[in-house]
Amino acid sequence: MAILSKPNVPQFSVDVYQNEYLPEGGREVNAIVTVTSTGGGTTGGHPMPGAAAGSGSTAGAGVVIMVDCSGSMEYPPTKMRNARDATAVAIDAIRDGVAFAVIGGTHVAREVYPANGGLAVADPATRAQAKQALRRLTAGGGTAIGTWLRLADKLLSSGDAAIRHGILLTDGRNEHEKPEELQSALDTCAGRFTCDARGVGTDWEVKELTGIASALLGSVDIVADPAGLAADFQAMMEKAMGKEVADVSLRLWTPQGSEIVFVKQVAPAVEDLTARRSEAGPRAGDYPTGSWGDESRDYHVCVRVPNAGVGQEMLAARMSLVLPQPDGTPQVLAQGLVRALWTDDMAASTRINPQVAHYTGQAELAQAIQQGLEARKSGDMDGATAKLGRAVQLASALGNEDTAKLLAKVVDVVDAPSGTVRLKARVADADEMTLETRSTKTVRVKK
């Protein structure tokens, strides 16, 4: 474990869990990397390195709330009222000094508050004004989420906030812009701000919303009952206020002849980062991790190394947590090493590290749920039974009780350890969507 953080930055640590022993001819090295940030999460409005508070416009953090105001939000009428109430609760949770704005989203995006092309600075007066402006949120029109994201990006870029975050609420499908238009907006916004997404009710598309949250390194969830929005929005905003440092990257360096097979976040949720690599010098690449407060996350790194003889040892990869600085020189927050050692001891080389085994199972669990639900939707009941049965078996073995409870609303569990299940004849839309939305959430391995 190495800790290299400087003052005024939360302390980061890296712990590497692996079996470094490879059999003769073995080339793949797997490691679970636990990254922990401490010392942040209590002063969300305070400046961070690279975040100038200049001209009183921000104090290092900015947040934009995007509220769906399309026509479907009027059915039932309580839905729009719940959305307004939830947004008001979120505004109350914004700390003094944090820059913020509210957007009303339909087939176009419009500024609701402060409606001056920029951000307001939170204090008792601006929070009261913002809540007053929420009365102007009325339902009517279509849904074009890409326009909401582009406006949020414009507003967040108008200040000098280093930590930029969005909260997005929708109740329907993105029907008033082409998929490539939404993708273009996501490509533009990725790396510029993070965004949590929430779907209210059951008329929205899970893959659409999970894609948005994934691209913008945020969380996604369903709020099936609009009455639950206020508590969810408050929790989201409080978490956003706990972020202390933005744009942290996991930098992986590999020696000549080695290559990265994949990099995945595996806790608190599965997120494949492999394709998001940006080159960072000879044989090094950066993988985005977004903003951090007081928290810990796990990553699964797989490296392919050159073949070597028994008794030889090599450094398979060096990982660093890096934070960009204004002068372009990255600040190294923490480091860890992944090693490879070839042996003819079969017991040593075949032993699977418990952390690696656990998270390999968690990734398979998420995939089994997604494939099972897809098979069910397409009418392949045998395939759905097999995949969801495997998911039940994995959830039981891995101790993922929350996922097991969600699966039990979609299948009748005959025997969990063997994965024997029967598909339920009738499943509520909310139960199926909740299982799909939360399929990537994992439980930590007991170290």
Task: Give the CATH number of the domain where residue 400 resides.
Answer: 1.20.120.1690
Domain boundary among 349, 381, 404: 349
Q: Is the pTM of this model over 0.85?
A: yes
Task: Look up the CATH number of the domain holding residue 134.
Answer: 3.40.50.410
Instruction: Flag whether 345 is in a domain.
Output: yes
Instruction: Flag whether 234 is in a domain.
Output: yes
Query: Based on C-alpha coordinates, what's the Rg of the chain?
Result: 23
Domain boundary among 241, 266, 291: 241
- Quick one: which H or E segment has residue 322? strand 313-323
162 and 280 fall within a common domain: no
222 and 301 fall within a common domain: no
Instruction: Flag whether 68 is in a domain.
Output: yes
pLDDT confidence of residue 9: 65
What domain range is 319 assigned to? Answer: 2-37+246-349
List, run by run, the mean pLDDT of 10-residue segments along the chain (447 residues). 54 96 96 91 38 38 97 92 96 96 98 97 98 94 97 96 96 95 98 97 96 97 95 96 94 97 97 97 96 96 96 97 88 96 96 95 97 97 98 96 97 98 96 97 81
365 and 339 fall within a common domain: no
Q: How far is residue 328 CA from its own chain's centroid?
A: 26
Instruction: Flag whether 180 is in a domain.
Output: yes
List of residues 6+ apart from 235 with CB closer than 8 A: none
Instruction: Flag whether 48 is in a domain.
Output: no
69 and 216 fall within a common domain: yes
CA-CA-CA-CA torsion for 287, 293, 296, 297, nearest 10 degrees? -30
Instruction: Flag whether 255 is in a domain.
Output: yes
300 and 194 fall within a common domain: no
Instruction: Flag whether 264 is in a domain.
Output: yes
pLDDT confidence of residue 136: 85
Rounded distance between C-alpha atoms, residue 34 and residue 204, angstroms: 34
Classify the C-alpha dihedral 354-359-360-362 as positive or negative. positive
228 and 328 fall within a common domain: no
Beta pairing, strands 99-105 & 109-113: antiparallel
| Spatial CA neighbour of 321 closest among 246, 235, 223 | 246
Q: Which residue has the tokens 């200049």?
A: 54
140 and 216 fall within a common domain: yes
177 and 308 fall within a common domain: no
Instruction: Flag whether 43 is in a domain.
Output: no
207 and 308 fall within a common domain: no
Rounded distance between C-alpha atoms, residue 167 and residue 194, angstroms: 9
Domain boundary among 241, 266, 292: 241
Half-sphere exposure of 78 (CA within 13 A, CB side): 7
DSSP string, 200-234: ESS-S-HHHHHHHHHHTT--EEEESSGGGHHHHHH
168 and 315 fall within a common domain: no
162 and 236 fall within a common domain: yes
Task: Look up the CATH number of the domain holding residue 309.
Answer: 2.60.40.3670
Please tell me the total count of domains within the chain.
Answer: 3
267 and 365 fall within a common domain: no
Give the E-state strand segments of 77-235 in sequence order: 99-105, 109-113, 120-121, 163-170, 194-200, 220-223
Which residues, in sequence order, are bridge partners of residue 102?
65, 113
